[in-house]
Each structure stands twice: as C-alpha cells, then as structure tokens.
Amino acid sequence: MAYIGLTSSEARDRLMQYGPNTIEEKKTLFIVKLFRWIVSPISLMLIAAAILSYVAGKYFDVWFIVGLMMLNLGVTFWQEHKADAAIEKLKEHLTTQVRVLRDGVWTAMPSSNIVPGDVIKLFGGNIVSADVQLQDIVHLSINDAAVTGESLPQEKKVGDTLYAGSFVVSGQAVATVTATGSHTYFGKTLLSVQKTSRRSILEQDILRISKFLSLASVVVVVLLTGLFLWYRIALVNILTLDLSLVIAGIPISLPTVMTLIISLGVLELSKKNVIVKRLSSLEDLANVQVLFSDKTGTLTKNEIHVTNIIAYGTSEESIIRAAALASIKDDESSINKAILDKARDMRIAVNEKDVISFIPADSERKRSFAVVMSEGVNEAISVGAPQIIASLCAMHADTFDTDVEHAAKQGYRSLAVAVKEGSSQEQGMRMIGILLISDILRDDAKNVVEFLRANGVDVRMVTGDHRAIGERIAQDVGIAPDKVYAEILPADKLKLVEAEKKQAVVAATGDGINDLPAIKTADVGIAVSNAVDALKSGADIVLLSSGIGVIKDAIIEARKIFARLYTYSIYRMSESFRLIVTIAVLGIIYHTYPLEPLQLILLAFLNDVPIISLAVDRVTVVSKPSTIRVADRFILSALYGLTGIANSLVLFFIIKDIVHLPWNIIETIFFLKLAISGHMLVYVAHTKERWWRFLPSKAVILATAGTQVVATLFALVGIFMPAIPVIWIVVVWVWAFGWMQISELAKMFHKKYIRPRLG
C-alpha cells in the first residue's frame, strides 16, 4: 500500500498551529509556593522569634531575623530551581523516537515533533505517542491499560483509533496522527490530574523521626510552660524558652537535606548512564538481594552476527535470501538486522515489494512468517526457534537435532529457516537450513558478577535461548548452572520474580514488551539500553548504556545514598535529643536557657551548611544489602545524645556555679560550644570506623571548618553576642575536642558490645 505523508513545510506549519506533541505539567504558581513556605515550620518559628524580639524591644534582632528569612527563602527557591532544571535535563534522555513519513521518506524523529496528519509506523513495544487512526495493520495487538484500564491486550482492525499512552504488544501498524499533545484523549485527562510521588521506606522513617522529635519538643514546651506559670515567671521569658525548645527540637533542615541527598545521588547516577524514574526505588536498589539478569545486551555485547550457516539440500545464498525476506519488514529487530547485514555482505539483494504478507516474531510465536512472490508463485517462509520451526515441517534432516545441540554447546543461538513453495500456509514446510547467531561476551561481565556476589547480590541469568547456550555463557561469567533459567517464556519470568519476592528484594532487567509484567512486579524494574519504549515507560530505572557494569554502578550509588540518609538520621536524632533534654533540664533548674532565640536561629543556620554538605559526603559502601536497623540506630543516637547532654550540662555547671561567669558571657560560651561540638559530631557519626581513619569528604570538611571559624569570630569579636576573651575560646575548643573523643568511645562501645547482641 502506498502511503502519503506530510512534507517538511506542511509539518512546520502544523507544528506552529498545534504546538509540540508534549503535555505541559501543571506549574505551581509563585504565590502558592511563597504561601507554602510562609506556613512551613521554619518560617513560622522565624516569624514567632521576630514578634517576640519586637515585644522585648530588640529591634535589631527583628531586622536580623527578617534578613535571615529572606536569605532562607532565596536559598529554598534556588535549590528548587536547580532540582527542576536537573529533572528536565534527565527527561531529555527518555525522549521517544517515532518512524515518520516525511517528504516520502521514512525518518526517525522525536515524538514531540509529530503533528496531526503525519503518517507513522508502529512496531512491537512502541508507545503510541499521539492519538492515531489505523491505516494498515499486521497481526496487531494493543494494550490500552493506561487509557481504559483494560489490562488484557486488544486486537485492533483498520480504521480503529489508538489513544496516546497505549502501547503495541505485538505486530506492526501504519497510522495517521489525529491529535497531539494536550489535544489527545489522554492529554486532556492528564491536565486534570495532579502529580503524586511515593516516598521510600527510609524517607518515611526519617519523617517519622522528625515528627517524634517535634512532638517531644511540644510535650516539653507544655510541661515547662505549666511549671513556669506556676512559678509566676514573666510571659516573655516563658515564650523565649518555649521558642528555644521548638527551634532546637524540630529538625529544620530535614526536607532540604533529604532532597539534596536524593537529588544529587540521582544526578550522579545520570552521569553513569542510569536514569531513575521512581526515586523511592533507590532504597529498594540499595537492598537488592537477587538480580534476574537478561543475557543479551547485559552479560553479552548485543553485537549479533550470523556467524555460520548449516544448509540442508540447498545453497547458503538461498537460505539467507529466504531469511532476509522474512526479516525485511521488521528491521527494528536486532536479529533481523543481523540477517539483513549478512545478506548485504553476501551481496544478496532482496526487495520489500516481494513480500505479500508478513507476521513479525514475538515472545509467544517465537518465529516470523512471510509470504513472498518468488518467480511468479507464492512462497511461505518461516524463521525462528528450531523446535518451533521443526514442528511446522513435514520432515527435516536427520542431523538437525544434533546440529542444534552442538551449536548451543559452542555458545551459538540457532535460527531455523523453512519454506514451502507455491503456498501461503505454515504447514508441511521444508527445512532448508540453520543460521548460527553469535553474541560476544562483555569484557567486564565476569568481574562484575563476582563483585555483585561478594556484595550480597545473587545474579541469576534469564534467557529464552537453549539451555546449553545459557550454561555456556554462565560458565564464562561465573554463574552456577542452577542459577540459569533457559528457554524462558514471559509467564515463566513473571513466576520467577513473584516466587523470589516472597523471600528477597528482587531486581529484574528486561528489553522486550514481553518482559513488562516481570519488570513491573519486581521490587526494582530495570529497562536496559535497547529496551522498547513501553518497557522504559514502565520501569523504575532506565539504563542508557549496555552491560551489567551499569547495574553495579547503580547499586553502589544507591547504597551510598542510603548510607548518607542513614547517617543523617543518626546525627539529627542525637543532636535534637541533646538540645531538647539540655533545654528542659536547665529550664527546670534555672528557669531559663543560656541562649536567646536570635542565637539559636543563628546556630541553626550555621548548622545547616555542614548538614547540607552531608549530601555529598564520603561514605563506606557496605558489602551487603542495606537495611534499616531501628533499634541499633536508636541506641547509637541515644549514646551520642547522652554524651552531648553530659557535655553541655557539665560545662554549664562549671562556668555558672564554679567559675561564676556573667550571664552574657555564659551565653556566648554556650553558643560557641554548641556550634563546635555539633560539627565535630559529624566526623564521628559519619563512619563506623575511627573518625581519623575515615575523614568526611572535602566539602564536609570545608563546610564544618568554615562555620566553626565563623562562630569563633562571632564570639571573639562580639557579633550578635558579647565578646569573650581568647582564653575562653581556647577552652571551648579543647573542651569540644575532648568530648568528641568521648563520643568516639561511645561509638566503639556500641560497635563492640551492643551491635553484636542486636544481630
């Protein structure tokens, strides 16, 4: 059938008229973002502090707090802008390509460029990127689940409409675009739907910690307020102490740190050709215990060649010509491309016009079928899995089974070719030969498999090839024979994933539309670089380059992200616990607290810099899947917190009741001690080793050193607080460093005596 597409000039005019074939996501208005920021906990605390300072007549404090609010607002929106820009950059890697007829030539172009009136080709695994009307079909089956909710594939006929968002399960089609972008049926629906996100278990865990600490702060605030009202303490002083407690207890930087850790980890993965589509899948990836890996393109290079030809009663040229005619209508298939390349190498010319009808191969049929015109008569040709093709033949060579088995043991995949002259039927055919297909093993495959095994990931091979081929490749890469699942159908792969998920965290790779059920069922579904569009759309993670080495990089980076979030949760729990208890104890004993709200706010901002730098901290990658050990973490956080409480209370009692320093000097000393000790705890908490044996990243070192220097200069010069003598600055630094070693001893005690008991 002759198709008439658009010219380039017509397409340009329609692109101007209808716009690109994209659906713009709803953007949150600036005023809405601003309102959300104003009613956030940190903003409400800053506003309360400003009001309290105004009531107390501290007008400089009011302007300073307002200035800090503006600074925080600027940083928040800048970080959000960077995150949005990074996401847009990542989206560019997932652009769908479409075969379009322009100026009479079939051309591959981004789906965003197609316009109403374009004529496009659809192949198995393609996502339908616009509303289209079918003009011609070959064995077409469509999945409309994204549009209608119907999960079973639907047979379609010429004249039917396909909606954007559906995908081709099997077969081929030529269609005319009827609507694009927001004008499509699916586009109109999407415009009314708000975007949602799913938090990982670790994110939910950290948010629970935040809520617990916030609740603890509120409970202590209520108790202290009742106690102070009983003592008839001035309301301004009560409010000052209450605000100090709330600022200390609520982990202000929590959302920023979590977002940065995850976002920077995702960007780091993108540099390694890994695109993360579901952020919460990173945690699952860090915990993967079993990896069901495809053979082709993952363990092998996916550089498929027709290496040899076994002929039965005919010439090699005749076999290749027949195979090429049964392949030319589906030149998207890597195997078909290899057959056509072999035909070109042998200077065998085939013409697509000779093909009268064609049914492409799929995972169920495992063969392609074509009826061609040969010397004025019809000829039926079938190319596919040897056992399937043999079942269609009236007879075949006595050595056929032996040839297939021998080829498999040598690592070759076999494709049988059968014909029937003067017929259009796939019955009673004649076997004419076998094509031996080879795919080269990847250089890094063996080392990566060994690395993954050493790091707690059990690699298992899943392939549709003959068992002898699978076992041969498995032997070369170091996978045990009992970890090889060969001659697998899509339903089998799904059952494997479902069974293993009952006892382990499972990742599975795939490339074809037949892999989609297993990919969606796995804890982490991975679409490899040559995967069809529909699979990339449904996967959690998309690989942009081939090979199992990319999967290793993804798992390592995911474990780093997990470790950073885990470290931050320990640090945040211990710091908030220390401050809440210290404020409560001093409030009960002295009816006050040695820091003004302004100083606490300043301390919070100084702490944010090194805490945020934890997003790029150097971490040790664990050699087994990561898990949240709630009891272990709580005990370690409590040990750090108790050490910090003792540190603060002992120093306060010394300078207040023994040395009898003036109250304003005590405030400055306490401010400096909290700034320095808190940052030193970062060095201890970020590693399970001795802190001096595994220092943080340069960014963390610079951030902690910089903020400690700034805090020291404030105390020395008297900025926002009374100045203190150099001797007291030295005392505070020595004191903080000494207690840092006590925190280190607490960590070693936990590592040696507590963690082993917890298992």
Q: Which residues are catalytic?
A: 294
Residue type, 100: V
- For tokens 């001797």, the residue is 727
Strands (E), 227-303: 274-276, 290-294
With b meaning 16 or more CB within 10 Å and e meaning fewer, what string describes 553-573?
Answer: bbbbbbbbbbbbbbbbbbbbb
Q: Residue 43: which of 19, 68, 64, 24 has the closest Cα?
A: 68
Contact at 8 Å (CB) between 647 and 737? no
In whole angstroms, what is the distance from residue 491 CA to residue 383 CA?
A: 23
| Bridge partners, residue 358, by sequence | 370
Question: Nearest 5°: phi and psi at 660?
Answer: 60, 50
Tokens (6 digits) for 447: 């080392």
Tell me which residue has tokens 């449904």.
538
Handedness of CA 656, 658, 661, 667 (dihedral sign): negative
Closest alpha carbon to 358 in 162, 176, 164, 121: 121
How long, in residues, is the chain?
759
CB atoms within 10 A of CB 115: 23
Place of tokens 């609010």: 69
Give the bridge partners for 381, in sequence order.
370, 419
Q: How far is CA 374 from CA 64, 111, 326, 353, 519, in A?
A: 88, 38, 13, 11, 43
SS3 content of the chain, % helix, strand, coil (to 5): 55, 15, 30
CA-based nearest residue to 630, from 218, 212, 253:
212
Helix axes 400-409, 467-477, angle to 10 degrees: 10
Q: Look up residue 364 and give its amino acid.
A: E
- Residue among 102, 108, 128 at smallest CA distance from 14: 102
Instruction: Give the integer Cα–Cα distance in Å for 685 and 701.
Output: 14
Q: What is the DSSP letter of 457?
A: -
What sign results for the dihedral spanned by CA atoms 117, 121, 127, 128?
positive
For residue 496, give both structure tokens: 């494997």
Residue 751: DSSP 8-state:
I
The set of residues, in sequence order, having a beta carbon less than 8 Å from that of 753 and lying 6+ positions away, is none
Describe the crossing of helices 663-685 and 597-613 by its angle, rounded to 10 degrees. 20
* Contact by Cβ (8 Å): 168, 140: yes
Give strand ranges (E) for 149-212.
154-155, 161-162, 167-179
Q: Containing H/E element for 454? A: helix 445-454
Instruction: Give the pair of three-digit tokens for residue 277.
Output: 């589509």
Cα separations in angstroms, 670 against 56, 236, 328, 603: 22, 21, 79, 11
